[in-house]
Amino acid sequence: MLQSASSFLPVLALDPQPGEKVLDMASAPGGKTTYIAQMMKNTGCVFANDLKKDRLRALQFNLYRLGVTNTVVTCRDGRKYGKAFPNSFDRVLLDAPCTGLGIISKDQSIKANRLQIDIYKCSHVQKELLLSAIDCAKVGGIIVYSTCSVSPL
């Protein structure tokens, strides 16, 4: 699957290993998830989660198309994963949903459609997701946080 550097570098930083249990907290459409599975040699278990049910179709299609068999797809609020699966994962990838401010050069409409309150809300959700990711990781586990936005909030 073709990906930009910003898409595959978080997975390289995560460095998933064969046989591990890995959580991709915001996984659709699945580019990073399929790369994680590839790095794990399709062993262990990847939990591919996304909050939005309508985005899961693309994720499931990409998993099937690329022959990924070690992945469980879930549709949960990632902020609640930490309570449901405390200390459960060797590695957690959180490519957090963001305001899109980091890609204004690609989509000028973002500049006109974002309000200050949107940025504050998104920042709050990102912090809650990161806290949940911390709760999900085993002691000594690895968490990679990435987002396209460079806002200082």
Half-sphere exposure of 43 (CA within 13 A, CB side): 7
Known catalytic residue: 122? no
Could you tell me if 42 and 20 are in contact, meaning their C-beta atoms sit under 8 angstroms apart?
Answer: no
Half-sphere exposure of 139 (CA within 13 A, CB side): 0
Question: In the chain, how long is the greatest CA-to-CA distance?
Answer: 46
Residue 49's closest CA among 88, 15, 18?
A: 88
What angle separates helix 56-65 from helix 31-39, to the nearest 10 degrees?
Answer: 40
- Of 45, 98, 122, 148, catalytic: 148
Could you tell me if 48 and 11 are in contact, meaning their C-beta atoms sit under 8 angstroms apart?
Answer: no
Composition of the chain by helix, strand, coil, percent to 5: 45, 20, 35
Active site residues: 148
